[in-house]
Chain A
Amino acid sequence: MRRTPLPPDTLDAIDRQIINVLQEGFPLCPRPFAEVASALGLEEEALIGRIAALREIGAITRFGPFLDAAAMGGAFCLCAMAVPEERFEDVLTLVNAHPEVAHNYERVHRLNMWFVLACDRPEDIDATADRIERETEIAVLRFPKLKEFFIGFRVAA
């Protein structure tokens, strides 16, 4: 994934509008691009071409269905640990060795290691976190989501 900014004038106003509109959702009908294009005052072909170009230059990372792991019978949990600096690399190796650890970030805080556990079954979350606690002898704080407020992210149009 591209991790550096594109030159500031890479996207025009229409590209920005496309990114904003397509974060909201995409129609389920035989010609969905035609429907979105007409709302934006574009031709179907032009919209498809612009989305392809946005993907090509890395302005968007994906365009498609976003799944809810929990609804599929899986479970997610954000976890945090306060890892002493001198043990950081050793603990990191132990934590990352678990395939259930999906993302892991170092953050500036007493709680300096933040990771997401992704498991097939809800009961595996605690089992995995407990295992990590035993292996590292460091408490694994668990922050399951109680409520999500999703709106998305707007690009200044």
Chain B
Amino acid sequence: MIDATDRRILSATQGGLPLVAAPYAEVAGWLDLDEAEVIARIGAMIESGVIRRIAVAPNHYALGMVANGMSVWDVEDEQAETLGAKVGALDFVSHCYLRPRAEGWPYNLFAMIHGPDRDAVEAHRDQIAALLGGACRASDVLYSTRILKKTGMRLRQEG
């Protein structure tokens, strides 16, 4: 589990890493730590999975991918992991998950598809269908019509 110093590092970098040549030294300076400790603690948090990765988040809308659809697939359980990994690797899929089925909901594989317009999303959906082949029994795609709420992930202040 992470301690109070780890939390301070996460809090300080939630807005992003500073864009300077030595960003970890900069963060260390803010928190009165040394650079080596900041690097070691971030490394440990990546190792334990608290930090998934240090990376950029592209803005799909700005990059012209203004259409998206949540595609859902009923894939044979025995093949779901293998096929899910293949779907997740497609360059127009941003998120891909296995989830439980529910009553009236036969789908276990969810893949968010992005494209410049809805026709492109539908074409990508056909590509996924071809990739899944006979292992897929049914599918659907759900388009969003409205964002009803969007708040970022908040970090608790206390440990």
A residues apposed to B, CB below 8 Å: 1-6, 8, 11, 18-19, 22-26, 28-34, 44-45, 48, 51-52, 54-55, 57-69, 71-73, 78, 80, 92, 96, 101-111, 113-115, 118, 120, 141-155
Contact = CB atoms under 8 A, between A and B. Distances in A.
A106 B56 contact: no
A109 B42 CA distance: 42
B33 interface: no
14 contacts: A45-B21, A51-B56, A61-B59, A65-B51, A67-B10, A73-B1, A107-B145, A110-B104, A143-B99, A143-B100, A143-B102, A145-B97, A147-B81, A153-B60
A106 B21 contact: no
B55 A28 contact: no
Contact of B156 (A6, A57, A120, A155): A120
B149 A101 contact: yes
Contact of A64 (B13, B60, B91, B104): B13
B147 interface: yes
Contact of A71 (B15, B49, B148): B49
Nearest to A30: B22
A142 B60 CA distance: 27
Interface string B82-111: 001101111111111111101111000010
Contacts of B104: 110
Nearest to B1: A73
Nearest to A148: B97
Contact of A149 (B46, B51, B87, B147): B87
A28 B151 contact: no
B79 interface: no
Contacts of A155: 58, 63
A145 B109 CA distance: 10
B143 to A, nearest CB: 5
B138 interface: no
B13 to A, nearest CB: 5
